[in-house]
Amino acid sequence: MLSVLVLSILLQRASAFWRMPCTEMLLGRVDPVVQPGVASAHVHTVVGGNSMSNYSEKDGLSLSNSACTSCVIQADKSAYWTPALYYEYPNGTFMMVPHGGSIVYYLGRGNNATRVPFPPGFRMVVGSAAARSFAQTPLTYMNQRPIAEQVSWLCIADPSQPETYGLNQTDCPYGLRSQIQFPTCWNGIDLYKSDQSHVAHLSGIDSGDCPPTHPYQFAHVFQEIYHQPNDVPDQQPGGRFVLSTGDPTGYSLHADFMNGWDQDVLACAVENCALGEQDGDLQDCPCLLPSYNPNTAQFCPMRPSQVVETVTGLLPKLPGCINIVNGPAAAQPADMNCPPSVVAAGPQLLPTPDTSPVYFDMPVVNQPYGLPNWTYLGCSNDTNNDRALQGYSFSNGTGMTIQTCQAYCQANFFRYAGVEFADECYCGGALLNNPVFGPLSTQRENQCSLPCSGNGSTYCGGGGRIDIYINPTIEALPVPSPKQQVGSYSYKGCYIDFGGARALRDYSVANGSIGPDVCAGFCQQHGSRYFGVEFG
């Protein structure tokens, strides 16, 4: 019963929010919003439009002229940037923590039924690079929540380690996620104010009302940044993780946004695809689909920072004029335009379009893989309208692993199991329609390249891409051949059918022991020219 319910939710999900996996675009001391035209105080990890490297850009408008973006929707040339995470060895040297990309969500949150798109040239910053402790005040509108709850950290798929506002836990075998809630309310006047008074949070930060001073409600932008702290080599007692701001507490987590959207596409998506709480499959948002490109690492690879200095590898100090401040007192603002501290010894380690490495820097999944008797088949394209596996399915935004998917399909006697879009699992008795592109190859890694929501060091497909496994010990179902003739009705074919747009709308009946004959009788009684049976 449960699986039936879950399946129908997946099938009926309408366009309700959307989320965009993004690879890294640039690493370096650039910050065209807070510190335009100079080397910024600390190192940022940027995802988004590739004209971002012009750190002297002031109005954001040239972002929309980016050749491409490292987020999967090419109509969004916006840039989103956050401080980089480093590991400090006991001897005082630093190493950047491997980054697993970012996911940017646009959610239909907030009580106002009307949402406005970001205006051209709009910018905002959330969080404070100086913070070193949790601030109980100020509070959001209606005094509902401390504003400091806008940033948080999560050890992925480890229920013993709850989400925290500081960087409490860094032993995260499945990955560590930093999370940012951007302000959702706008005063309708200013594209940017350096004190951020042009924007405000919803009363509940990710829900509730906009204050009357900021009546214009955007789609709620939520950004997740993936880190792999356990992949830092040679960790030792006395070592610690610090943000590029010189912050071991994690409270200085912050993010900048600069609008580079194609305004028509954004307006269409905000109006039609940011409406509620359901699953955020990009494929359900027609406004976004034409510019969907999942192969961002290849299509829009990282580019060098205009501030030429080494920011990865073993560093004698954090880039910039950064002192580590332990808190709880706030840090003084660090010098900006501090000269490049560690000049690159040779060319920077940056991928070029043709040799671009895997989308996420993770170990390659070997085959066979997962539970006993399951073998990896390959990566396939997969769309809502033409699923490769059409049996049961479920999703788990925090706990999907290849093994849980295989176990679920096995328990329900399905021979095939497939993981998709980080957190979806599909089962099938047969592999339908879609080609399997074969075992892992460089080319395919850019397609099935999202980390599993429950184990950040394995892959769970991609957007419109499914990793398929087979358990040959489970008996293959014959692909059913329908009766060609039922009474006076003849077989026409198999059609897609959704709750919101049924193929046949006049009469219906559901009955656990129904079959084509019963349905034919029922529809004939009603004088219907067509009948159809669905979902067992």
Ligand X SMILES: *[C@@H]1O[C@H](CO)[C@@H](O)[C@H](O)[C@H]1NC(C)=O
Residue 212's φ and ψ, nearest 5 degrees, are: -60, -25
ω before 328 within 30° of 0 (cis)? yes
Q: Token digits for 466?
A: 């499914």
Instruction: Report angle CA 355, 359, 364 to the nearest 5 degrees.
Output: 95
Cα 291 to the chain's mean position, in Å? 17
Query: DSSP per residue over 17-30, as a string?
Result: -EEEEE---EEES-
Nearer to ligand X, 355 or 517 (CB): 517
Nearer to ligand X, 210 or 333 (CB): 210
Nearer to ligand X, 58 or 321 (CB): 58
Q: Token digits for 249?
A: 């507490």
How far apart, in whole angstroms, are the C-alpha atoms of residue 129 and residue 467? 40
Nearer to ligand X, 24 or 209 (CB): 209
What is the closest distance, in whole angstroms, from the C-beta atom of residue 324 to ligand X in the complex? 16
Nearer to ligand X, 341 or 355 (CB): 341
What is the closest distance, in whole angstroms, from the C-beta atom of residue 204 to ligand X in the complex? 14
Q: Residue 215: is it exposed, middle or buried by C-beta count within 10 angstroms (0-12/13-18/19+)?
A: middle
Residue 142's φ and ψ, nearest 5 degrees, are: 65, 15
Q: Token digits for 95?
A: 């190493």
Report the interface residues with ligand X, using CB under 6 A: 51, 54, 56-57, 62, 89, 91, 93, 112, 114, 116, 157, 159, 162, 164, 166, 168, 210, 215-217, 234, 314, 372-373, 381, 383, 386, 396, 398-399, 401, 403, 434-435, 454-455, 457-458, 473, 511, 513-514, 518
How far apart, in whole angstroms, are the C-alpha atoms of residue 6 and residue 356? 38
What is the closest distance, in whole angstroms, from the C-beta atom of residue 316 to ligand X in the complex? 7
What is the closest distance, in whole angstroms, from the C-beta atom of residue 383 to ligand X in the complex? 5
Nearer to ligand X, 310 or 333 (CB): 310
How far apart, in whole angstroms, are the C-alpha atoms of residue 525 and residue 505? 15
Nearer to ligand X, 157 or 282 (CB): 157
- How far is the first Cα of the chain from the last one, in angstroms, to the nearest whole number? 12
CA distances 321 to 95, 402, 445, Å, are: 17, 44, 38
Q: Are 92 and 74 in contact (CB under 8 A)?
A: no
- Chain residue at closest Cβ approach to ligand X: 399
Nearer to ligand X, 364 or 503 (CB): 364
What is the closest distance, in whole angstroms, from the C-beta atom of residue 116 to ligand X in the complex? 5
What is the closest distance, in whole angstroms, from the C-beta atom of residue 63 to ligand X in the complex? 10
What is the closest distance, in whole angstroms, from the C-beta atom of residue 137 to ligand X in the complex? 17
Q: Are 389 and 476 in contact (CB under 8 A)?
A: no
Q: Are 32 and 55 in contact (CB under 8 A)?
A: yes
Residue 348: CB atoms within 10 A of its CB come to: 17
Q: Are 467 and 448 in contact (CB under 8 A)?
A: yes
What is the closest distance, in whole angstroms, from the C-beta atom of residue 56 to ligand X in the complex? 5
What is the closest distance, in whole angstroms, from the C-beta atom of residue 398 to ligand X in the complex? 5
Nearer to ligand X, 261 or 394 (CB): 394
Residue 514: CB atoms within 10 A of its CB come to: 14
Nearer to ligand X, 340 or 516 (CB): 516
What is the closest distance, in whole angstroms, from the C-beta atom of residue 358 to ligand X in the complex? 14
How far apart, in whole angstroms, are the C-alpha atoms of residue 284 and residue 173? 33
How far apart, in whole angstroms, are the C-alpha atoms of residue 156 and residue 173? 8
Nearer to ligand X, 154 or 265 (CB): 154
What is the closest distance, in whole angstroms, from the C-beta atom of residue 388 to ligand X in the complex? 8
Q: Are 79 and 59 in contact (CB under 8 A)?
A: no
How far apart, in whole angstroms, are the C-alpha atoms of residue 491 and residue 484? 5
Strand partners, 376: 469
What is the closest distance, in whole angstroms, from the C-beta atom of residue 423 to ligand X in the complex? 9
Q: Which of 149, 175, 174 is nearest to 164 (CA)?
A: 149
Nearer to ligand X, 134 or 333 (CB): 134
Nearer to ligand X, 275 or 333 (CB): 275
β 44-48/26-28 pair status:
antiparallel
What is the closest distance, in whole angstroms, from the C-beta atom of residue 132 to ligand X in the complex? 11
Q: Which of 225, 248, 249, 229 is nearest to 95 (CA)?
A: 229
